Structure 1
């Protein structure tokens, strides 16, 4: 549970550092241009949207975290969002490490 909170806190830090991208159209555009390095997809996102972004992330080899609800992600960044992209490579790498830690528990 501690690692879950670490990830959400880190997501908030990414927001404050202006390293997140939100909004479906903007995210799709940024994914296609290779500027998104990590993706959060809320568990309660619509099926069609989940499929669209999971397919894009698989095609472009973008790691995905789909373990949080819309409420948890929204609280972390202070905006109501279901899909959040991380545009900073270093922050994305740290999020992958934290996500792998949770999977290993």
Structure 2
């Protein structure tokens, strides 16, 4: 099973996820994520922190099998979580600019935390 990294769903990442959904660059729900993985479209899996253990394990197994990063998403204080933002607890992002934007944002946050 894949190791999950944890990310905080801040305003910038929320915006990128919302744009990816509007652009049709996202699979929503575990079964749709599984289908996207088998088609080779998947680049990242996001799992809401409130997702049950069984579903989280299934998403982790998909991430491991198809070698895509998987993140457990925590909501920032006072902000909606992934399930409130998208309506699903598990989403998969397709390859492209939105995934790159999220990775860049995570990298910037990581660099900022290192400097503190």
TM-score (norm 2): 0.74
Match of 2:45 in 1: 39
Question: What is the 5 A alignment of 1:1-105?
Answer: 4-68=10-74, 71-77=80-86, 80-104=87-111, 105=113
As a proportion of its length, which structure holds more strand? Answer: 2
Question: 1:19-39, CA deviations, whole angstroms, 9 ceiling, x for partnerless residues?
Answer: 111122121111122111111
Distance between the aligned counterparts of 1:82 and 1:103, measured in 2? 24
SS at match of 1:29: helix
TM-score (norm 1): 0.81
Q: How many residues of Structure 1 are paired with residues of Structure 2 in the alignment?
A: 101
Conserved 8 A contact 2:43-2:92: yes
Report the RMSD for the aligned CA atoms in angstroms: 2.1
As a proportion of its length, which structure holds more helix? Answer: 1
